[in-house]
Chains A and B, each alone.
Chain A
Amino acid sequence: MTTAAISVDKLNVSFGDSHVVKDLSFEVRPGESYGLVGESGSGKSTVLRVLSGLNHEWSGQVAIEGKSQPKHRGKAFHRAVQMVFQDPYGSLHPKKTVDDALAEPLAIHGIGDAQARIGRALSDVGLPASFRFRFPHQLSGGQRQRVAIARALVLEPPILLLDEPTSALDVSIQAEVLNLLSAIRKERNLTYILVSHDLAVVGHMCERLMVMQFGRCVEEMDVEALAARKPQTAYAQQLLTASEGFRRAG
């Protein structure tokens, strides 16, 4: 049996009195794309923040490529796992150029050959080399999200955590960013965890998904079950029906 790329066992997260993730366990296979869906407050983003090392208050087991992870992660972890955030307007430093944003992770990890790597990362995400010395305000939302993806990819991690990567973007731009993410995954055999409230996006991007509610796993299913509208639980069914738009009674 191959080692799971990500394995989470009995994860619990509490903020003060509120217990936001409850006994959550799941595994993601190498090269797989795994979706986390649920409504706000379901704990899906918190799971991602724990996995990425941004949240230190948790209990349970988190293992990346077989290695159990401490609360505070080391450099090696960050070379293996990178994250892309929801809001490209908030996740790029407004006073740093694209070049600065991409150079920083390379400097932290003491990786040489920065010039060539930055150039390659930009061309991988389909941005012209002339964008390299632009500031975020000189870019559109879709271009910013491409920069955020380039920043995540510049360390060449095998695992990407995607937190609603397209929900702040127009649908036509969403299509471009999703196509880019699919193409990169195929090319580099990456493992994705994609958090989204949009079932159609998860259906398009993932092979398996977990439906969460109130911090618990309601149901884990593969995408075929989603496309066939055959979830096992009432809540997942309700979510699926609600996502198909408004229905007038009678």
Chain B
Amino acid sequence: MTEIRAPMAGEPPLLEVDNLKVDFHTATGIVHAVRGLSFSLGRERLGIVGESGSGKSMTGRAILDLIPHPGVVTADRMAFRGRDLVQMERKERRKLRGRHISMVMQDPKFSLNPVETVGNQIAEAYRIHRKAGGREARERSLAMLEAVQIREPARVYDLYPHEVSGGMGQRVMIAMMLIAEPEILIADEPTSALDVTVQLQILKILDELVSERGMGLIFISHDLHLVQSFCDRVIVMYGGKVMETLPAAELADLSARDRRHPYTRGLLGCLPDLDHPQAKLATLTRDPAWLA
């Protein structure tokens, strides 16, 4: 894989987002899925955690211009390496998608084309984004399958999605998203459907891409333990709003827990913990003021 060059001094961040909003105009009124999210992404692992309905997946989709009708995305600023995404034509956005910014979805079962071999699907991504010929695309795809640690890539290349396991399907998805060598990867619950041991192998692949190629990773998850052990920084979302942004290490730091936002503290508190058994788990009290 080619190196993405190291950032130069004064270079804009990979991604800047300022006051991002996603609204759905439905028959029963406007649903605010994301309410004013701001962050910037460097060559790092940025975690977005939250429960269902917190707007974390919508954030990932909004960056890629993948919000379906009747959703409306607005932002004061959204820029990829200094290029304004808000004003950009849809056609241009589409060129960025997959080539420069790509996304791994949660469930390979629903995200792969069921009537095409996994190898051809990966090769297609390469042909489109890199304007390459069939043979080169095949070779690159086989190399990519190997890079995501699939044994016997030549055999797996000709399998259909239903013939591969969940863990293998997820690796195929990752191979497909990475073959164009994007600068930013958005991973939406990439390991939630997988067993813990497979999960760790996938994370290792993502981790190496960040540390070795300098990719920017947005890691969307509901799993606090995973995010705190894997990411550099974490955004905690609730009801479409950011509750707080903090270094991941501070999530694990018990002595710093008092300084955490009550929602973050609540989330951490209601997880069962082998080291601190308690007769009754704490439950979360939601404060309407958090969404004010």
Contact = CB atoms under 8 A, between A and B. Distances in A.
Interface of A: 39-40, 141, 170-172, 174-176, 178-179, 182, 197, 199-201, 203-205, 226-227, 229, 238-239, 242-248
Of the candidates A203, A204, A247, the one having the most CB atoms from chain B within 10 angstroms of its own CB is A204
Given A170-B51, A203-B274, A175 B284 contact: yes
B291 interface: no
A226 B275 CA distance: 10
Nearest to B167: A40
A170 to B, nearest CB: 4
Contact of B281 (A179, A242, A243, A247): A179
Given A170-B222, A172-B283, A227-B277, A201 B272 contact: yes
Interface in B177-232: 195-197, 199-200, 203-204, 207, 222, 224-226, 228-230
A172 B195 contact: no
B271 interface: yes
Q: Which of B199, B271, B272 has the most CB of A within 10 A?
A: B272
A227 B272 CA distance: 12
B225 A172 contact: no
Contacts of B267: 171-172
Contact of A174 (B196, B200, B270): B270
Contacts of B271: 171, 175, 200
A176 B281 CA distance: 8
Contact of B226 (A204, A239, A246): A246
Contacts of A239: 196-197
Contact of A226 (B195, B224, B274, B284): B274
B36 interface: no
Contacts of B275: 227
Contacts of B89: none
- Ranked 3 nearest A-B pairs via Cβ: A245-B229, A204-B272, A175-B270
A200 B224 CA distance: 13
A86 to B, nearest CB: 13
Nearest to A176: B283
Nearest to B267: A171
Given A40-B195, A175-B270, A239-B196, A182 B51 contact: no
Nearest to B206: A246
B234 to A, nearest CB: 13
A207 to B, nearest CB: 12
Nearest to B224: A171
Interface string B259-278: 00000001100111111010
Contacts of A248: 207
Nearest to A168: B52
A209 to B, nearest CB: 12
17 contacts: A40-B195, A141-B52, A170-B52, A172-B266, A172-B270, A174-B270, A175-B270, A175-B282, A182-B280, A197-B195, A200-B271, A200-B273, A242-B196, A242-B197, A245-B230, A246-B229, A248-B207
Nearest to A229: B274
A125 B279 CA distance: 18
